[in-house]
Structure 1
Amino acid sequence: MNTTIPFISDQFINENCQFNGLIDALKRGFSNSDIEVPMRHHHDFSNPKEANDSTLLLMPAFNPGKELGVKIVTVSPNNGKYNFPAIQGMYIFIDGHKGFIKAILEAKSLTAKRTAAASALASSYLSKRNAASMLMIGTGALSINLIKAHCSVRPIESVYVWGRDIGKAQKICEALKNEQFTCTAIKNIEYKISEVDIISSATLAPTPLVLGKYLKKGQHVDLVGAYKKDTREADDEAITKSSVYLDTYQGGLKESGDIVIPLSKGILLKETIKADLFELCNNSKTGRTSDDEITVFKSVGHALEDLVAASYIYNLFQNKVEI
């Protein structure tokens, strides 16, 4: 047996991962009742130089007898001022029978790809089939991936990008200039929120950017940021006007202010949440029911997504090596 542990880099993941394939793999994963996912460890720790807490996440998952893995991630919200990604980490991918490490994957691109693919998977159930326009709120590492993922499941023709730094939004549009959709950087959110079919938000903003007063019938809202209980990207009105869906009940009900705060106020009731990705993918619950419905999908991330994505990417890597 070869004792050298393969290292799968961000570069390999970015060059070889295809969203259609990853989305299909995630759909099968959320339909697989054999995969076991303990509650992830979420530890905030002080970061004195920044006067702002950072976070350590440990995310294990097991597909018994086949494969298992754990992702180790740190989140440092102020890293942007150092021109350094907020999210850092590695994924340890392990044989589920004999327990040896099959590969170590860089977690930055793994996380970005699986997160975007999960949002697109949800969109395939929740956005209108003819959705043709999208607003991307946020200019971090996830933004390009979210745009490409959403565009892989819907016939999107026009994408708009907003960030606090218009220059970063313009760079994203420049990076997407050869895609089959147009991409435009914008300076204001308000007027555009009311015009697009899909709104995707991936920010570390502590207070809401998606305001319900601007939402219109038929829209789909994809909330990916706000990973702490006291932060949120959508306000109360956005929640009350919408049908709410989660990636998982396990994390979604506990980890993000987008859900925790409305629940604590009684604005949202647990029993009125429509479904999670497990229920959508195994067809026990349905998604969008009409073209007038406003849908909200809240993602906090789930270790099943990491395990499925790691397995998908590992197989791509093995095929490349064998060739």
Structure 2
Amino acid sequence: MGSLNDVVILDAEEVARRAPYADLVEALEAGHRDPIAACERIVYGPEGDPRRFMALPAWQTQGAGGGAIGIKLVTIFPENPGRGLPSVQAVVLLFDGATGEVVAMLDGTELTYRKTAADSALGSKLLSRHDARTMLMVGAGGLGAHLIAAHRAVRPSIERVLIWNRTRDKAQALVDAGIAHEAVDDLDAAVADADLISTATMAQQPLIKGSLLRSGTHIDCVGAFLPDHREVDDDVVLRAEIFVDSREAATHESGDLVIPTTAGTIEVTAVRADLFDLCRGEHTGRSAPDAITMFENGGGGHLDLMTAQYVWGAR
């Protein structure tokens, strides 16, 4: 390339156009069969302050054309919705793996939403019951609509989407927009009624009680991406067959697993498989139709790199 003038710049609208959920899920599934990228996660933030700045570099040294390098720079400012801004904002840079040249700069906020939702949907495709009818979305923030759409793309059997949020107005807004069917106030009752549950909140105390989960439920945990955040209680991790997207990210950085393993409630070996194992056919997934499955979406730079490569290559 040689010049920044040659770098392809993809804004949010173009990222969305190039990455419909069903297609992106397929791309991520294929990506998990490729050589594994080396990746890292760097988190900064003032002590006692919920704001965070994160860098997620990833380098895949093998692959077509010499592999690829990518880095996502992301800010997390929980108070931003009150300013009319997304709580998560990001940019992704994609580099040629053979020459080190910058080839693309992508809107990282839209990429993050779609990557995260597709990651969860891939977990659902491989783990949730094919006859799931009722979905419960816990959290009506920026990710909520994306998660609902992505899960429904891989589970067209879903007929009803319930949504709960700490502030009902946000949940109702997604109902009014036709994205969900019903805003609920009684979270416990909704948990007991759901076949598939997706959680995307900033909760530091558990919201989902494992004692309420019915047989066959699949729970997709997205929000607890920091070690001190947690969306599910001990009963969930004790009752469920646990799967993760990446062992490194989920077991070291996601509070849903870090907190109970640190306390000795479960061992790290309770994690049965990750997406690499599942996509490569090295693990069959849920053990029985009535098993409760839990998928911890820990994220990771390798997923951003897979998504950026797909979006850049799509036309």
Q: Same fold (TM over 0.5)?
A: yes
How many angstroms does 1:195 deviate by? 0.9
CA distance in structure 2 between the aligned counterparts of 1:38 and 1:112, rounded to whole angstroms: 19
Give the counterpart letter for 1:216 in structure 2.
R
Partner of 2:103 in structure 1? 102
Partner of 2:49 in structure 1? 52
How many angstroms does 1:272 deviate by? 2.1
How many angstroms does 1:78 deviate by? 2.5
SS at match of 2:193: coil
> For each residue in 1:276-311, what CA deviation from the matched residue of structure 2 results, as whole angstroms up to 9, or x when unmatched?
111111111121121110011111101111111111
Partner of 2:122 in structure 1? 121
Unaligned runs of 5+ in 2: none
Count of residue pairs brought into register by the alignment: 308
How many angstroms does 1:74 deviate by? 1.4
Instruction: Work out whether residues 124 and 218 of structure 2, in 8 Å CA contact, stay in contact via their aligned partners in 1.
Output: yes
How many angstroms does 1:111 deviate by? 0.5
CA distance in structure 2 between the aligned counterparts of 1:216 and 1:265, rounded to whole angstroms: 26
| Aligned counterparts, 1:1-323, within 5 A | 3=3, 4=5, 5-33=7-35, 35-46=36-47, 52-64=49-61, 65-154=66-155, 155-176=157-178, 183-316=181-314, 319=315
Moved more, 272-281 or 76-85: 76-85
Give the TM-score normalised by structure 1: 0.91
> For each residue in 1:93-141, what CA deviation from the matched residue of structure 2 results, as whole angstroms up to 9, or x when unmatched?
1111121111111111101101110101011111111111100000111
SS at match of 1:274: strand
CA distance in structure 2 between the aligned counterparts of 1:140 and 1:282, rounded to whole angstroms: 33
> For each residue in 1:5-53, what CA deviation from the matched residue of structure 2 results, as whole angstroms up to 9, or x when unmatched?
22211122223321111011101111112x422222222334xxxx623
Moved more, 4-13 or 103-112: 4-13
> For each residue in 1:250-273, what CA deviation from the matched residue of structure 2 results, as whole angstroms up to 9, or x when unmatched?
111111210011101211111121
Identical aligned residues as a percent:
34
Give the CA RMSD over aligned residues: 1.5
Runs of 4+ in 1 over 3 A off after TM superposition: none
